[in-house]
A and B are shown apart, each in its own frame.
Chain A
Amino acid sequence: MMKYKPFIFRLLETDQGGRYFMSILLALIVLVLVCNLVVPESSSFHIPTYAVTLIGKYLTYALLAISLDLVWGYLGILSLGHGAFFGLGGYAMGMYLMRQIGDRGVYGHPVLPDFMVFLDYEVLPWFWYGFDHFWFAVLMVLLVPGMLAFVFGWLAFRSRVTGVYLSIITQALTYALMLAFFQNNLGFGGNNGLTDFKDILGFDLRSDKTRVALFVCSALALLLGYLACRFIVLSRLGSLIMAIRDSEGRVRALGYRDEYYKLFVFVVAAMLAGIAGALYVPQVGIINPGEFSPINSIEMVIWVAMGGRGTLYGAALGAVAVNFAKTYFTAVAPEVWLFILGGLFVGVTLFLPRGIVGAVQNIRGMYRNSSEAGISQEAARK
């Protein structure tokens, strides 16, 4: 009989990197909470709230990267439009936050958000109904990206679109969304997007407590998202999606409908990306069609490649590392950032084909080999 182990331990049993990742994440939560709430502002160990929010934003990116890794690293589909799902989740949350403003907008209209008053809307468009309820918005954060992924995947996977063609149409998907959301008459605020949020669930978005709470939510979402992905990857379904990645024809010859498996993973990943988007928006205070821009989706791919795909935690690491660099360089030398990003991508593909994680594993492997060699030499001498 196998000894009973708690569920969470089983998920991380064979995942050393994941255990480090979980530990670091938990330590980060505690550290940030203590340094922001307990350590006095005068101390140099104090973490100001704007930094807490910045870290929170990175963590939503990390969740986004993990969801992309599920699709790319495990299922083998290079999605160049993953930002679409992130953006839609963000918009769903943004719509809730807009409705929360109520009559406190610049125009003071009791129902209509400012941009609608400005664009001479008479009534609230039907697709804004329900977004005054938080639970409804949360549902939409999951359902809208999920449905889009379902319809898109249904069409693409059933007609056996694969490889570069699939990547290109995912890119087209997010591009189409960007163009659509830029339209003023679509009813989502056009190129200004949704902004000027006031509060969430009645808590003031500018207050420090709310911001710290949002950070904690992001960290927990990342943690749970990671475990959910681990659960999928460890299941027989996870084993199958990797088999589909490596040899689709074999999987089919065994009697599996590969398109349904792809669809499942694609939809789950889209929902996770939606959650990430929904947590991102209240922290940055704005969502606009720029989030759908193809370059964003390509950046996400770079995060995952940089961290090391097919490990989940590598994707999270890559997202945080690249965005940390981005924050730094766009402040110091904004005009060179894109060159640095491009350089990073070329460098990683050429020299670190398995990303940072792969490089670390290689180094550790070499170290272990040399120490083992040392031991056997000693043994030989005896």
Chain B
Amino acid sequence: MSNLNVTEYPAIHVPGESILYLDGVSVSFDGFKAIDNLSLYIKKNELRCIIGPNGAGKTTMMDIITGKTRPDAGRVIFGDMTDLTSMSEAEIANMGIGRKFQKPTVFENHTVYDNLKLALKGRRRVFENLFFKLSCEDDDRIRDVLKTIALQNHECLEAGKLSHGQKQWLEIGMLLVQDPKLLLVDEPVAGMTRQETELTAELLTWLAEKHSVVVVEHDMEFVRSLATRVTVLHQGSVLAEGSIESVQENPRVVEVYLGEGQYLT
């Protein structure tokens, strides 16, 4: 695995400590290698940032973890043993993996409250949902989360009428009530004001106390504020890994970003 040479700490799978372990994963679309022998290792209760220029394969990586895209090669190990590559999207989600999509994806015709109600942990079978009754605890849980995502005054509003930033929060809120073990958060602060961005950073840091969180983001100030380990993806594999300062100084990283006409600031 040559791509590991450039990382400061090689991705070594330590059983018992790992929540997610990507092992030599590749996928290509019509001959184009979007993910190329990617290996990555996330520890329990780790907050990890993934950065990389446009088209680096960050979203595709999440698609593979969640079962939306099937890899051509490699394994995706969740927890200690479970290989996700043969499981369906719903099964993977029920293993405890939640995802926020890059384009905020909420149920636009449902109220904010109903969005959270549908995301509530457990009860995924057809017939239990035909006779589902919201318990008092469920309602409390939803209201808690509504406060956390600052939408407590909009619970009856159709989600489609929310601002872009509010939709992002609602989607994060759906992750909260879903209560997964691992959260995959794709560009959470796109379209947010500075202040909203700061709040989101706080929220994710708080979340990482009890969950493992993988955040993809382009906003460097936001990444810096998370003060956590950063992985740089480029052309579908890991280019560098380490603290934000160390990767920013890495000449290969600088070169790649400049090559793409982008700045790493």
Contact = CB atoms under 8 A, between A and B. Distances in A.
A39 B255 CA distance: 93
Interface string A189-226: 00000000000000000000000000000000000000
B9 interface: no
A344 interface: no
Most chain B beta-carbon neighbours within 10 Å: one of A235, A236, A242: A236
Interface string A240-279: 1011001101111111111011001000000000000000
Nearest to B93: A255
Contact of A243 (B93, B98, B99, B110): B110
A155 interface: no
B156 interface: no
Contacts of B126: 237, 260-261, 264
A249 B109 contact: no
Contact of B110 (A232, A235, A242, A257): A242
Nearest to A244: B107
B90 A257 contact: yes
A23 interface: no
A239 interface: yes
A253 B93 contact: yes
B3 to A, nearest CB: 28
Contacts of A261: 126
Contacts of A232: 130
A253 B66 contact: yes
A239 to B, nearest CB: 6
Nearest to B100: A253
Contact of B119 (A242, A254, A258): A254
B119 A239 contact: no
B45 interface: no
Interface centre among B88, B106, B118 (most CB of A within 10 A): B118
Contact of B114 (A235, A239, A251, A260): A239
Contact of B89 (A235, A239, A247, A252): A252
B101 A253 contact: yes
B174 interface: yes
Q: How large is the interface on A (under 10, 10 to 19, 20 to 34, 35 or more residues)?
A: 20 to 34
Contact of B90 (A235, A236, A240, A255): A255
A254 B105 contact: no
Given A254-B174, A260-B126, A261-B126, A249 B93 contact: no
B68 A237 contact: no
A254 B114 contact: no
B117 interface: yes
B78 to A, nearest CB: 14
A236 B132 contact: yes
Contacts of B2: none
A252 B109 CA distance: 17
B108 interface: yes
A237 to B, nearest CB: 4
Interface string B72-115: 00000000000000001110011000110100011111100010
A237 B130 contact: yes
Given A239-B114, A243-B110, A254-B93, A249 B105 contact: yes
Given A232-B130, A254-B174, A239 B117 contact: yes
- Which among A235, A253, A256, A264 has the greatest number of chain B C-beta atoms within 10 A? A253
Contacts of A260: 125-126
B124 interface: yes
19 contacts: A235-B129, A236-B118, A236-B123, A236-B132, A237-B130, A237-B132, A239-B114, A240-B118, A246-B110, A247-B108, A249-B68, A250-B105, A250-B106, A253-B98, A253-B99, A254-B118, A260-B125, A260-B126, A264-B130
Interface of B: 66, 68, 88-90, 93-94, 98-99, 101, 105-110, 114, 117-119, 123-126, 129-132, 174, 178
Closest 10 CB pairs of A and B: A255-B93, A236-B132, A237-B129, A255-B94, A252-B89, A236-B129, A237-B130, A243-B107, A250-B105, A257-B90
